[in-house]
A and B are shown apart, each in its own frame.
Chain A
């Protein structure tokens, strides 16, 4: 009997390898450092690893899609698009967390290695060609995030958030794994391409490494649909889609602010990266089954997220609900289930990342002594104390609300256009109406900053130089992408060609 060794195309996962080595290196270097040593060298080490991984990923851009490791991962433009996005987010998180790291005595070696390993999980989710890989990536990401959430050990809220996240996350993982099992049971495979072929023999997703042989099982509709529904629950949890969102406000509020920022953009984007792969590759022929479910979930998510945000007093909680609402907008693009829809999803993910990270940067700059000044009323009169920060915050709020000429407007425009083209006009209408609600709570921050007199006792802080610069860059990007969206949109279109 011949035993054929699988060919290992290492280059397809080169960024993952580099990141893993970086994470391990950080841990090793940390062993040789004194307890009081500055975390700065480790931050540079992490950033360096990230930069190399980004460079590698960029150099992999433009190649034909290539499945590797027996159809476990696939390297195509879509993978590289998300990889670069994730790693930039991680880099920004390293920058944002630095101050809190030193002030609250976080253990830097663990912090940086965890954040790098979570990035490995995200990259694997975007490159997964197999449901098992989606699960592994998701778990890797989640477990790192559980710990990172509880990193402010001295704050009870942080610990509480961590435990809640862990319990509910485990619950959701159960759904995901059960869904995978049901899909396997009904189709005989966990490879996305094979699943597609089992459902519809005409499907051609050869680049997902399914091979050409016959597929074992035939799709049984009952089991399969139950499996798809379970996948919706498991992945929807990570993306904070209503009604699987309840963890998000508590966890976002309790986690260190830099980690909140990280979760709100990174983990969410990773969840959508996996959702798109799973639903557009494995189940495209069932789209009329799941797209209505997703459409209802998107509508509920937009309505609940925006409505609940209205009555929040804490800015972190408000942004948590806002990020739930944005998950709804992004889900609309999935519902559109077309190349245009996915391109607009990719674009929106970038735009949302820029504006949401920008907003969190301002929150971090103002709430520096551990975790204070986090009420919306603390922003009263900010325009007089910190005119530049207030201007940037106003810009981010307007962009999140979707007002031109910002990226938030263009992104929403593309998504809702795709929805209308896909005959989901009612969903676009709900999206627009619920974004009207969102204008209220975003502008409430602007109102506080510009119209209300400063509260006594809230003294000005000295802004951190590099975070301020990063916020300025984000502000510039918000406008630049709003006026000249074409560059990123072209990349997004080139990344969504795997969808027919």
Chain B
């Protein structure tokens, strides 16, 4: 069944095309059937392909070259640039299942959530197009096709953030996301140029029909020129900070919450934002060449995780808490990548996709049930009105704070353990480990705060802004089913990564790491494993820290033993810093946006005066020449014949002159 792999991305594309062409005529039921059906087919084929792949003994993965895409020249001058081809290996297997699986659930959820929307068909066109693009991104067998997917998901993200484009804030958020990502994409583009110059191919791996040697068949080619070996990973990191919302480019993600909530769950939590993580995991052989680039990555990750978590503490909008939490969790993944623990990053990517999608959809259910209310201060006690939403949300909460046995527990501890292991070789990583451990505590605090404020205590939102009474109600079944499925996933998804000291296995690493090893196993000196005792101590520490964070939140928001306002006053310098989001947006406004605006206005006047002026001259010349030519075309045959004759004489004369 592997030969049918190409159908996996094609089905959602067909769905998008069908709904684009006929969406307005065929009614909502058909639109939903087409959209969900295409993703369901894609998911089933994906599962089938992954199963077939696992029964295959092909460590580097299965390559399917569909056809030649870009090449020019002929004969010995022929240059082959890239083909349309797919690569299924352990890494892309995980990604396909996450993208198509979570995508399917969110398509189903959207039917209920978007039921009242006028742009129903348009929404599903975008969502299908996104699924297609994301599958292209993770399945591409070369950098160029991957970049096409990379850009397409960015486009879909822009379209969906600005879905309610009549709302100025949504339109602005869409633009912000797009422009911020341009900065990152610029880095990726330059990296692609460097790859082409140094390897002469974009293919990941060589094989029949493509390049003889792919980039990853010979990752050490650029060792001779150390600058390039450092530059390519660093430029890709720029792309990661854009797409995966890391410092310094993370500012777009919280604003992206202007989009519909299922979109936030799918694109801005579970899949697209993990594109950067996927990119590094895919290109890890290049990172293994450059410890400096890895350290940069780890530092960015740890700092992002910490900063975003502190900002999440003071947010009052339920979606914004989740947005900052996503940034923070992505920071954990990037930290794992920077520690050379690529498998751990991908593992956390997977578990995070479950519990964060679950919580976003849960938040969507809450917003739906409260008639578009997103303010945590106007919630409270919702467990009495929305039991299913509440208890599935609680599962997600327990998963993210790392309650033992749930998925987040295993993946987060794997990251911490691998970072610590690397710290034994390079002490800088011990500092990053400490920061990450502190972040675990903060995470537990802000997540618990959100859950307590929203679902426990008394309901505080009895009257809306217009003075109407608000009675919370549970959401329709079509929205609850995905919640339950995701809750189950949030519990069990981690069980494929149970550390070996619990399973008693002989391998020093967990099952997921063994599975991913052919695709992402680190090469070089960095691979380190820990004694079982050390791992147990580390796990115990993180559980204690998380418990402390959650307990503090309980004291503040559940039992009311400590007044949160008073506590905030005590730490006012910090709370101000957090509320201002570490002044990063302000910094950009002052240092970059205003300067860019100044340069832009200068260039605009330059453009108007100098370039515009010269263009005007050119235009007048061209227009003048045009009218002269037009006048010469008087319509008399004799004139035309004379022109031809003169031309003939000129050609004759020229043929004498050039002989």
Which residue numbers of A lie inside 8 Å of B, CB to CB?
163-164, 167-168, 171-172, 175, 221, 225-226, 228-230, 232-233, 237, 242-244, 246-247, 249-250, 288-290, 292-293, 296-297, 304, 307-312, 339-340, 343, 414, 417, 421, 437, 440, 484-487, 489-490, 493, 496
Contacts and interface: CB of A to CB of B under 8 A. Distances in A.
A225 B659 contact: yes
A377 to B, nearest CB: 17
B626 A172 contact: no
A352 to B, nearest CB: 18
Contacts of B68: 486, 490
B640 A247 contact: yes
A298 to B, nearest CB: 13
Contact of A489 (B72, B75, B651, B655): B72
Contacts of B626: 307-311
A295 to B, nearest CB: 10
Contact of B633 (A167, A171, A250): A250
A233 B633 contact: no
Given A250-B633, A339-B74, A171 B644 contact: yes
Tell me the interface secondary structure of chain A in the complex.
helix
Contacts of B84: 484
B623 A293 contact: no
A208 to B, nearest CB: 21
Interface residues of B, number: 38
B648 interface: yes
B635 A250 contact: yes
Interface string B65-91: 001111111110100000010000000
A289 B637 CA distance: 31
A398 to B, nearest CB: 18
B655 A229 contact: yes
Given A250-B635, A340-B72, A414-B72, 5 more contacts: A293-B654, A304-B629, A307-B625, A484-B69, A496-B74
Contacts of A247: 640
A424 B641 CA distance: 31
A340 B644 contact: no
Nearest to B641: A171
25 contacts: A163-B637, A167-B637, A167-B641, A175-B648, A225-B659, A226-B652, A226-B655, A229-B654, A232-B651, A242-B647, A247-B640, A288-B658, A293-B654, A293-B655, A296-B654, A307-B622, A307-B629, A310-B623, A311-B623, A339-B74, A340-B77, A343-B74, A440-B622, A484-B69, A486-B68
B500 interface: no
Given A168-B637, A228-B655, A237-B644, A340 B629 contact: no
Contacts of B651: 229, 232-233, 293, 297
Nearest to B644: A244
A168 B644 contact: yes
A230 B626 CA distance: 28
Interface string B612-656: 000000010011011101100101010111011011101110111
Given A243-B647, A249-B633, A308-B630, A340 B74 contact: yes
A168 B641 contact: yes
Given A233-B651, A310-B626, A168 B640 contact: yes
A181 to B, nearest CB: 15
Nearest to B653: A229
A246 B643 contact: yes
A164 B643 CA distance: 14
Interface in B27-80: 67-75, 77
A486 B598 CA distance: 45
Given A289-B659, A293-B655, A486-B68, A243 B633 contact: no
